[in-house]
Amino acid sequence: MTMTTTLDRTLTAVPTELAHGRGGGGPAPKRIVVAYGFWIFILSDMIMFSALFAAYAVLSGNNAGGPTAPELFNLRNIFISTMCLLLSSYTCGIGVLSAERRQPTHFLVFAIFTFVLGAAFLFIEATEFAGMVAKGAGPSRSAFLSSFFTLVGTHGVHVACGLVALVYLVAQARVHGLRPAVLRRLLCWSLFWHALDIVWVGVFTLVYLMGGH
């Protein structure tokens, strides 16, 4: 490997490790290409979320005489669910790192942590939604609530899909072992999970903190 590098350096002007995927040094490793494709998907998902954020920003004042944001939001619960999602993002990163270092037991433990924290986040959100609907503040009450349920609900659906995908990937890792294809899927999944946490930063800042006091 060291010999390869030195010979490549003498043969081509551009150092190989600097030029991967940008012309001189041949194609980028598959791991980089796959992650880039998935990154494009994540950005398109972000653009969809931006439309929902825009709808909420425009409609948040139109409560049609119904309940307003400060009456509905319990910031203590939101803080707890925010911490759950943040910690699950952390355990997800550590889990994928253990998988890349070929430590299946560590990976399994951190995947379970990630799942439990993500499920706790969803449970708190579902309880909040159920409580709001029970108080007559469902999505059909006002434009404010329609846009609120669409934005926060879409994020919740993404988290639920992420949990299903996590179970599927852990099963793959158990059956096939931590081989390169499985590791690439895990890497993409971790990008998705971190991106959901970024969307949640926008949600708790714009919806709960700026609207909730």
Partner 1 sequence: MHSPERVFEDRTPGVEEHEPTASYLSYSVGLGLAILATIASFIVAQTNLLWAPGIPVGLIVLGLAQIGVHLVFFLHLGSGPDSTNNILALAFGVLIVFLVIAGSVWIIANLNSNMVLMPQ
Site residues (CB under 8 A) for partner 1, limited to 129-148: none
| Residue number, 5 or 127, with CB nearest to partner 1 | 5
User: CA-to-CA distance for 174 and 165, rounded, in angstroms?
Assistant: 14
Residue 125 as a binder of partner 1 (CB under 8 A): the answer is no
Rule CB under 8 A: choose which of 82, 88, 142, 147 binds partner 1.
82
Phi-psi region of 111 (alpha: psi -120 to 50; beta: other; left: phi over 0): alpha
Residue 14 as a binder of partner 1 (CB under 8 A): the answer is no
By CB atoms closer than 10 A (0-12, 13-18, 19+), residue 7 is: exposed
Residue 83 as a binder of partner 1 (CB under 8 A): the answer is yes
Rule CB under 8 A: choose which of 66, 68, 86, 172 binds partner 1.
86
Instruction: Take residue 87 and report the two structure tokens written for it.
Output: 């910690």
User: CA-to-CA distance for 49 and 118, rounded, in angstroms?
Assistant: 20
Residue 79 as a binder of partner 1 (CB under 8 A): the answer is yes
Stretch in the footprint of partner 1 (CB under 8 A) among 64-72, 83-91, 112-120, 121-129: 83-91
User: CA-to-CA distance for 95 and 22, rounded, in angstroms?
Assistant: 30
Residue 13 as a binder of partner 1 (CB under 8 A): the answer is no
Sequence-distant (≥ 6) Cβ neighbours of residue 160 within 8 angstroms: 122
- The residue length of the chain stands at 213
Site residues (CB under 8 A) for partner 1, limited to 162-201: 180, 191, 194-195, 197-198, 201
DSSP string, 105-161: HHHHHHHHHHHHHHHHHHHHHHHHHHHHHHTT--TTS-HHHHHHHHHHHHHHHHHHH
Residue 212 as a binder of partner 1 (CB under 8 A): the answer is yes
The answer to whether residues 118 and 163 touch, using CB atoms and an 8 Å cutoff, is yes
Residue 36 as a binder of partner 1 (CB under 8 A): the answer is yes
| Residue number, 27 or 136, with CB nearest to partner 1 | 27
Tell me which residues touch partner 1 (CB under 8 A).
1, 3-4, 7-8, 11-12, 17-22, 26, 28-32, 35-36, 39-40, 43, 46-47, 50-51, 53-55, 57-58, 75, 79, 82-83, 86-87, 89-90, 93-94, 97, 100, 180, 191, 194-195, 197-198, 201-202, 204-206, 209-210, 212-213
